[in-house]
Every structure is written in C-alpha cells, then in structure tokens.
Amino acid sequence: MGTVVKIENLVKRYKELVALDHLSLEIEEGEVFGLLGPNGSGKTTTINCLLSLLSYDKGTVEIFGKKMTPVSYDIKKQIGIIMQNVAVFQELNVYENIDYFCGLYIKDKNKRKQYVEESIQFAGLEDFRKFRPKKLSGGLLRRLNIACGIAHKPRLIILDEPTVAVDPQSRNKILEGIQELNRKGATIIYTSHYMEEVEQLCTRIAIMDRGKKIAEGTKDELKRMIKNTETVTIEVLEVPESVLTELENIRHVYKASFADEKLTIECSGGKHNLIRILDVLQKENISFGRVYTELPTLNDVFLEITGKALRDKED
C-alpha cells in the first residue's frame, strides 16, 4: 500500500483571507479518507488545489508519487472527480452524458460501452438512460453526476459533498455505492459537513477549520482525543443546584447541566457512571423518566477542539 496523495504545507490566500493554512495530508491507497469541516473550512479549496484547478501560494501536491500540475494528463487519467455542483450537459441524455465523460478518459469504443453500462447499473439509472438531466429528480441527478465521474474506473475518486440536497433514499444509495467502489480497490477522498456520513464511510478522517487541519485519525482515534467518552441524559422535572454540584463530584463526571427538563451529565472514561449518577438522584428523592446514554460523536470532537459546533443549526 503506497501513498496516493501527499499534500505538504499548502497555503492558499484570497487577498487577506487565508483559505488554507499550511495544510499537510497523506492519503494511503485503499483508504476512504474523509475531509470533515463546517462550510468555509477549506475542504473544497483543498480539493481544487489538489486537482490543480486552483493556484496556491505555497506548498506541494503529489498524486501517485508525481507532482500534480494542470498538464499531468497521466495522473488525471486515474482520477475521478465528483464536484459539489452537478456538472453535466443539459442537452445530452443520461447515457450520452456518461459516454461523453467516459470518452475523455477511455478511447477504446467497446471498452467504453461496457464501462458506461456498468456505470449506469452502479448508479441505478437503468430506467433513465434516455432521460435528459432536467427530467431527473435531485437524487437521480446526483447519481448521474457520480456515474459521470466514476465511469472510467479511476484509482482515486474525489467526492466533494456529493449528497448535498439529496433525499435520504438516494443518499443511502450513494453511500453504499461509494463503499462498493472502495471494496473494488479505489481510494476515496470524501468531503462533507455531515458527520454521520463521514463516520459511516471513512476509514480515516481529517477535521478542518479555517483552513487548518485541527485533528486527524480514525474515528476512534479522534474520539479518544477528547475528554468526553459518554454523555448521560435523564428526563427530570427539576434539579437543584446542590445536586448538580454533587453530581460533578462523582469521579469521571466533569460536567452536569440542567435545561428543558433534561439533566445532561458528561463523563470522561470510567465504568459504572450511570449507576453512580442514579444513586445520587435516588438519595435526593428526585424522580426521573427516561434515561439514555450516548457515545461521543465527531461533532463532540469538533466542539471540544474548536469550542463551536461542527454543523450549522439548520443542517
């Protein structure tokens, strides 16, 4: 397994704004590498610099061990790109669109025909071959966008937020497809601000904020980086301040708060935390309703590192 992508000290400025701040990444062959961050964190800029679409002020980009330039056609042949915006011809139908983009990479007509058919099946567009893009639903359009990007069977596939504005059914179909591509040997770079998708898909994740990589590792490694290992939530009508203080005195509990008839207790490691918490409530004669515990999410990781939520509230 070799290094497929190597980015070192990448700096990209838009006048005063630093879009990428000395970013370094290494992506190994066979990985599904996630770039996670809020809108404006620099994910798409990273992808555009990686593809040599954007000029950058400093740093180096290597793909398959070679420096990436706009005329690195031998490297480009092995890359499939699925942009955030759907990039297809409105006047061509599904089959023609896939054939067009596949033809930019594959000269052999017979081979191309086979690849286009496989791509149509992969994206589940068999019934829509003759449909033009404007006749497709949002989800189908995204699937066409993906089919156009992967028809030539690239070794490296870059997906830049491919599920934005996609219904849950199509989203699942897309995520399953990406996993299948990875199983077939493709290295995947996946950018998103949907942490659930990244958690589900990616074998390794880099979290970005304001053009910087703030954390990198597997999802377990990332979660181990933070204090929070478990969050206990209990439905209660009222909790006095003294009880909150008593709860915070329990070993491994580092924060207890009460709002909207919910008592939230954040724990850092340890066992039997729930039993100890419930003991305190019983001792204080506080009756409670439902009790549930949650393991930390990538949002917790982001929240703890940056002090802000990963996703916008409307997301």
Partner 1 sequence: MFWHNFKYELISGLRVKDVIIWLIIFPIILGGFFKIAFNSIYEKTTEFSAIPIAVTETEKNEVFHKVMSQISEGDDALFKVTYAEKNEAVKMLDKKEVYGIIFTDGGLSLSVSDNGIEQTIIKTFVEQYIRQEKIIKDTAMNHPDKLDEVILSLGNNVSANKNIPLTNGNTDYFITFFYNLIAMVALFGSITGLHISISNQGNLSPLGARKCCSPTPKSISLLAGLMGSYILQIICIIISITYVAFVLKIDFGNRLPLVYISGIIGSLMGVSLGFAVGSFGRMSTKAKEGVAMSVSMLSCFFSGLMEGDMKAIVAEKAPWFNEINPAALISDAFYCLNIYDDYDRYIKKNITMIILAVIFVIIGFMLTRRRKYASL
Interaction site with partner 1 (CB under 8 A): 14, 48, 51-55, 69-71, 73-74, 76-77, 79, 81, 83, 85-89, 91-92, 96, 99-101, 103-105, 107, 148-149
Q: 111 or 283, CB closer to partner 1? A: 111
Rounded to the nearest 5 degrees, what angle is found at the Cα of 49, between the Cα atoms of 74 and 18? 165
Q: 75 or 207, CB closer to partner 1? A: 75
Token representation of residue 82? 């699925």
Closest distance of CB 59 from partner 1, Å: 14
SS3 168: helix
Closest distance of CB 73 from partner 1, Å: 4
- How far is residue 48 CA from its own chain's centroid? 16
Closest distance of CB 185 from partner 1, Å: 20
Dist. CA 292–CA 151, nearest whole Å: 45
Closest C-alpha among 100, 99, 95, 93 to residue 133: 93
Closest C-alpha among 225, 157, 161, 218 to residue 194: 161
Q: 49 or 301, CB closer to partner 1? A: 49
Q: 55 or 169, CB closer to partner 1? A: 55
Dist. CA 300–CA 226, nearest whole Å: 8
Dist. CA 177–CA 166, nearest whole Å: 15
Contact 7, 50 (CB under 8 A): yes
Closest distance of CB 177 from partner 1, Å: 19
Dist. CA 223–CA 243, nearest whole Å: 29
Sheet holding 66-67, edge to edge: 17-28, 3-14, 58-63, 66-67
Q: Which residues contact 156 (CB under 8 A, 6 or more apart)?
A: 4, 5, 63, 64, 78, 79, 80, 186, 187, 188, 189
Neighbours of 248 (CB within 10 A): 14
Closest distance of CB 9 from partner 1, Å: 18
Closest distance of CB 189 from partner 1, Å: 13
Closest distance of CB 127 from partner 1, Å: 21
Contact 149, 118 (CB under 8 A): no
Closest distance of CB 312 from partner 1, Å: 22
